[in-house]
Chains A and B, each alone.
Chain A
Amino acid sequence: MRMLTFAGRNTKELLRDPLTLAFGLGFPLVLLFLLSAIQANVPVPLFEIDHLIPGIAVFGLSFMTLFSATLIAKDRGSSLLRRLYTTPLTSLDFILGYTLPILPLAVAQTTICYLAALCLGLEWTVNILYAVLFILPVSLLYIAIGLLCGSILTDKQVGGICGGLLTNLAAWLSGTWFDLELVGGVFRKIAYSLPFVHAVDLERGVLAGNFSEALPHLWWVLGYAVVFLAAAVGLFLRQMKRQ
């Protein structure tokens, strides 16, 4: 109950920020329409809608990282969090209270992306529902990265690192904008040792109905999500004690 109250507060803070809605929902859609327009004029297999939409859906989640990191970093910079530390809220209440409000936002964002893709010619199959479902572990990964960054960075640093650097790096290393096989070499090895391309391959596999191919990518995503979440919890608790 206490945790839900705190989570409710975080949901309101997120939804009342117009930038959240503009970037979280609008930017992935703009990219989707833009790349689809390019595809219509200069056909590229990478930008075919069934290949493009999983990457866009995953890319949109980097904004969830930005939102969660900004919310925590702002709270850390204010006295509100210090006040809340003196209330009966436990460490678990704080972690869940910051994590849970982002999950429905992530699902809503993904759903809107897939609905837009249907309008752009994506063939309707039940796998779209599975793709939305499988966005949950991917969301957890991106939220965990947000928790981690928010626990160690100031809100200004979060803007630069999560909003600029991480958003771009995660996109480059995900195989959404260009085929990693074309680059090859060390870049490809680095990309496949990180979770972002696995998140996109997971979504592509599920959307195509190739669940046996998708599953190994799920373990990569879940593995990294657990590691980042554990690190985020550790760092959050450390800064909580430092208060």
Chain B
Amino acid sequence: MDAIRIENLTKQYKDVVAVDHLSLTVGQGELFSLLGVNGAGKTTTIKMLSCLTKPTSGEAYLNGKSIQAESAAVKSMVAVSPQETAVAPGLTVLENLELICGVYGLPKEVRKDRIRRMTELLDLGSVAGKKAGKLSGGWQRRLSIAMALISHPEILFLDEPTLGLDVIARSELWDLIRSLKGKTTILMTTHYMEEAEALSDRVAIMKDGRLLICDTPAGIKDAAGKDSFGDAFIHMVKEGGTL
């Protein structure tokens, strides 16, 4: 069974079609990237898949569950790390992690273990007792990702996860994302071409809500006849791509 199956998914806001009859599939444990210039429909797609926004038409299934008819089941298996850091500013790092464990209904003994492991994994130990609102942007981003991972989601949505991070923090986050490959299905959006090429099993390029191409990074370079993935992306977006 595909982890994500999207069938003609469309979202229209008045006169603007944000996502236009999008159809694609993402396999179990695959790291799949959605690329596109601003307004391409990447974030709207994630919002629909995470049940934050209802589609105007079309359907999507996450591990076989409909995002419209079975939203509660979908919500229990996904986690989202939004574009902006989404943390509770008045709570400490540990309390933020406890909050997410609580809203996913994890038993107390499981919570303790998960918080310990997540604190180690993202190296949050040194700031564990500090209020999230007092942390730097990089630390807040780490915490935000930890909050997305702590529920052990079957499907993880990462909306521009390395936005605003310095080179070292980005490299560390790449390592973390790589370590999840094969275990968790990840749908990621990014504006960094080298990030998409380095991490993704497959990439979909969107423009004006429509899918231009969906292939491996190497396949996209071949299709565009370019040596670099960045050039291939620019070619696809300017030329309209091939499906």
Contact = CB atoms under 8 A, between A and B. Distances in A.
B106 to A, nearest CB: 10
Nearest to A87: B103
A79 B90 contact: no
B37 interface: no
Interface residues of B, number: 35
A243 B82 CA distance: 13
A88 B91 contact: no
B82 A89 contact: no
Interface stretch (B94-102, B114-122, B174-182): B94-102
A86 B157 CA distance: 11
Chain A interface size band reads: 20 to 34
Contacts, number: 78
A2 B86 contact: no
Interface string B27-61: 00000000000000000000100111110000000
B171 to A, nearest CB: 24
A126 to B, nearest CB: 39
Given A16-B90, A78-B86, A86 B103 contact: no
A76 B98 CA distance: 21
A5 B98 CA distance: 9
Contacts of B89: 13, 78
**Main SS at interface, chain A:** helix
B88 interface: yes
B184 to A, nearest CB: 16
Interface in A62-119: 78-80, 82-90
Nearest to B49: A86
A23 interface: no
6 shortest interchain CB distances as A-B pairs: A5-B102, A79-B86, A83-B86, A13-B90, A79-B84, A86-B50
Nearest to B84: A79
A167 B218 CA distance: 63
Contact of B75 (A5, A17, A86): A86
Contact of A87 (B47, B53, B54, B100): B100
Contact of B80 (A2, A4, A83): A83
A2 to B, nearest CB: 5
A9 B100 contact: no
A241 interface: yes
Contacts of A79: 82-86
A86 B90 contact: no
B192 interface: no
Interface string A129-150: 0000000000000000000000
A241 B90 contact: no
A6 interface: yes
Given A82-B82, A87-B104, A89-B103, A9 B88 contact: yes
Contact of B88 (A13, A85, A86): A13
A156 interface: no
A82 B80 CA distance: 9
A197 B103 CA distance: 40
Contacts of B91: 9, 12-13
A87 B50 CA distance: 9
Contacts of B53: 243
B8 interface: no
B103 A84 contact: yes
